[in-house]
Structure 1
Amino acid sequence: MLPLIENNVTAIVCLISAVIIQRIFIKELRRGTDKEEIEGIKWFGLAILFWGLGAFINVLCITLFNWETSNKILIYLGVIISLANSLFILLSLQSIEHDSKRSLIVRVVQRFSTREFVGLYCAVLGMIAFVFVAASYSNSAISNNFIWLIDIPISVFVALSLFFELNKAFKSRQMQFMYLPTFALFTLIMIAVLQRIIPQDRVVAIVDQEFWSLMGTITAISFKFLFIFLFSILLYSWKFLSENEQQESQVNRLTAENKALYSKLEHFEIASESHLDTIKTIKKEITGLREAQKTVLSERQKEVLAYLAHYGTTKSYGEIAEIMNISVDGFQTHIYQVKKILNISGNAGKEQLITYALVQNLRINLDQNPAT
């Protein structure tokens, strides 16, 4: 009765959990998550799925064909399921992220590609299993405990590696409070292993058979439940960290874009200030020209400017004054007054006066000045 309860509970819980985990894996793939980052979800899901399938097949064989749990075919099937489960867990261990050094068995797995490791694993254990099956199938003297020896070393190595990798992952994520559940998982797996290798007849001499069977059922169910629980915690923490990394990446990207925009804004501000200064200067010059155009000069001053415009590029002030039949001092006095009126100063004053005269179209009457 107890084995049937164990298999029913295991089949229901593991199959439902496997379906949920595989749906999470598919959903993450569709979201565009890197397949290598979520490869562990697939392998953990397959490990749980094989547990469920093995339990479901046991239920069918016990209920439909009335097979005993000690039937060698069921034992062989259990060994195969356990070996497949160990394979999937080994493949998933390298996907458990942490900053510490990997365990030895994980480093061995990482030396091969997935296909190479699966092929090597199946080849080696397949040959060993064949020897065990050939030796035990037709020999009733060989107990079921002997058949389980195929799986025991692998189960122990997997349990140790899983224990170390989970603790390292939880430590890396500041979740040291999960050490106790991982230790409990390791302990339960070791108890389950002991139940498989200790002969039943020797156990009965020490403890009650019903108690031993009950402990075996509770242990088998408990470590599977705890395994699923720890994996769920690990999956949730991975998801949480992944979302945090995505948010940090987005923050960094937005910060970089903000800095780039701020740099462009400063550049535009500097350019705008330069343009504003240029515009102010142009406005000032235009205002000066407009004011100059509004300036009223006397006829004598216009005449001086006209002569300056005509002769200024080739003759000096004294020569122009002589042509106008006025003194140099008088000519320079007129020039000074015009500069003051037009607000002209500096060494380029003469050129500015000539330009002004040309703009104002001030010309001399050459007929009245034959000296020209």
Structure 2
Amino acid sequence: MLHFILENSVTAIACLITAFVIQRIYHKEKQRKDPMRTVDGIKWFGLAIWAWGIGALVNLVLIYGLRMQITDKIVIYFGVLFSLVNSLFILLSLPSIEHYKRRNIIVRMVERFSEREFSIFFGGILMMITFVFIMASYNNQAISNSFIWGIDIPISVVVAFSLLNELKEAFINRKMKFMYLPCFALFLLIIVAVTLRIIPQNQIDQIVSPEFWALVRVTTALSYKILFILLFSILLYSWKFLSEKELKENTIGKLEGEKKKLVKEIRQLRIANESHLSTIDMLQKKRREAIEKVRDLEKATRIVLSDRQKEVLGNLGVCGSDKSYTEIAEAMRISVDGFQAHIYQIKKILNISGAGGKEQLIAFAIEHNLLEHATISLKSDE
């Protein structure tokens, strides 16, 4: 009795406090909007530990409050019930354990259903099996407590194996291969704990003393629960550490990506800027040329010729290609010296010098519509 009270008291205190802390962590992480699958895993792990704590507390109430015996079938029924609930919560938490290896078949089955569907499916099957066991064993003294625990044994073994596989892969993924040993120890402790439940007490009494056997059961039960909590805490801490590390790496990667993008944009802007500068230089050159032309035009428009000079240029434009200065002077009925003087003044005004002066004067007369000032013509002269 003392060992039973010790086991359930320690289990209730440790599990309820741990479960409360885990649920607080769950609500905090949920508010931070971390990946929902991982956050849900925290919730289900916490509820699994709750189930252990509540189950231990119910056992204490039944033994202390209602004065039931440890071997009473009601106590065994509640023990099986909370063990099955714990198995359900652990199964629901397994998909949240992150790793990159292929999931085992049990986890893949859990992933195929929603949490609600799997809970209904799991609970429905177990309720039917449990109902059959209760109806068959409640008033039947021939059915032992070990037989009642038979409902929970195969499920606990399957859950323990799945948990071992997922924890192993998760720790390997986190480069913590040394954690495989405590994971395997947890698996063995669970197997031993569930096996001890189905060994008949009368057979044990023939081998070891009841006190020693009770001590072994208490030690095994407490050991695997404490080890489970410890492994989950390490897993949770490593997940949090890796999440923060991945967040920093993602932030650094994002900043590096933005930096590369900015460098590329700066390079493109430099190329575009050089192209624009080249275009600007070309436009400025064209602008200077245009300004020079405008200045030339303005200079040309500032040329002031007298009517007589316009007449000379007009006559030169009409007949200059076919007649000499002397012939044009005679046609205009002026002296050759006077005509030459007009030509000299016009060249000076137009800044014409050197060979080809006559041709330049003719071109100027034609370009500036001075032929209308002509007073002679080739036809009339002929």
Query: How would you bin the TM-score normalised by the shorter chain?
Result: 0.7 to 0.9
Distance in 1 of aligned mates of 2:353 and 2:257: 62
Q: What amino acid sits opposite 1:146 in the alignment?
A: F
* Residues 149 and 266 of structure 1: CA distance in aligned 2, closer, same or farther (over 3 Å): same
* Pairs within 5 Å for 1:350-369: none
* Residues 37 and 369 of structure 1: CA distance in aligned 2, closer, same or farther (over 3 Å): farther
* Residues 211 and 287 of structure 1: CA distance in aligned 2, closer, same or farther (over 3 Å): same
Equivalent residue, structure 2, for 1:360: none
Runs of 4+ in 1 over 6 A off after TM superposition: 285-295, 321-327, 363-369
Distance in 2 of aligned mates of 1:260 and 1:78: 62
Equivalent residue, structure 1, for 2:40: 39
* Pairs within 5 Å for 1:309-348: none
Equivalent residue, structure 1, for 2:336: none
Does the Cα contact within 8 Å between 1:83 and 1:151 map onto a contact in 2? yes
Q: What amino acid sits opposite 1:58 in the alignment?
A: N
Distance in 2 of aligned mates of 1:145 and 1:249: 54
For structure 1, the residue ranges without an aligned partner over 5 or more in a row are 338-349, 355-362
Does the Cα contact within 8 Å between 1:75 and 1:144 map onto a contact in 2? yes
Equivalent residue, structure 1, for 2:152: 151
Distance in 2 of aligned mates of 1:38 and 1:121: 22
* Pairs within 5 Å for 1:14-93: 14-93=15-94
Equivalent residue, structure 2, for 1:124: 125
Does the Cα contact within 8 Å between 2:38 and 2:97 map onto a contact in 1? no
TM-score (norm 1): 0.78
What is the CA-CA distance between 1:279 and the residue it aligns to?
Answer: 4.3
What is the CA-CA distance between 1:291 and the residue it aligns to?
Answer: 9.1
**Secondary structure of 1:107 counterpart:** helix
Question: Does residue 174 of the first structure (1) align with residue 175 of the second (2)?
Answer: yes
Aligned length: 339
Equivalent residue, structure 1, for 2:192: 191
Q: What amino acid sits opposite 2:114 in the alignment?
A: S
What is the CA-CA distance between 1:131 and the residue it aligns to?
Answer: 1.3
For structure 2, the residue ranges without an aligned partner over 5 or more in a row are 329-338, 355-359, 378-382
Equivalent residue, structure 1, for 2:380: none
What is the CA-CA distance between 1:242 and the residue it aligns to?
Answer: 2.1
Distance in 1 of aligned mates of 2:295 and 2:150: 115
Distance in 2 of aligned mates of 1:127 and 1:286: 97
Distance in 1 of aligned mates of 2:352 and 2:246: 79
Distance in 1 of aligned mates of 2:63 and 2:292: 114
Greater shift in the superposed pair: 214-223 or 17-26: 17-26
Does the Cα contact within 8 Å between 2:9 and 2:60 map onto a contact in 1? yes
Q: What amino acid sits opposite 1:22 in the alignment?
A: Q
TM-score (norm 2): 0.76
Greater shift in the superposed pair: 251-260 or 69-78: 251-260
Percent same amino acid at aligned positions? 49
Does the Cα contact within 8 Å between 1:10 and 1:55 map onto a contact in 2? yes
Does the Cα contact within 8 Å between 1:303 and 1:364 map onto a contact in 2? no
* Pairs within 5 Å for 1:178-327: 178-281=179-282
Distance in 1 of aligned mates of 2:246 and 2:96: 17
What is the CA-CA distance between 1:7 and the residue it aligns to?
Answer: 0.8
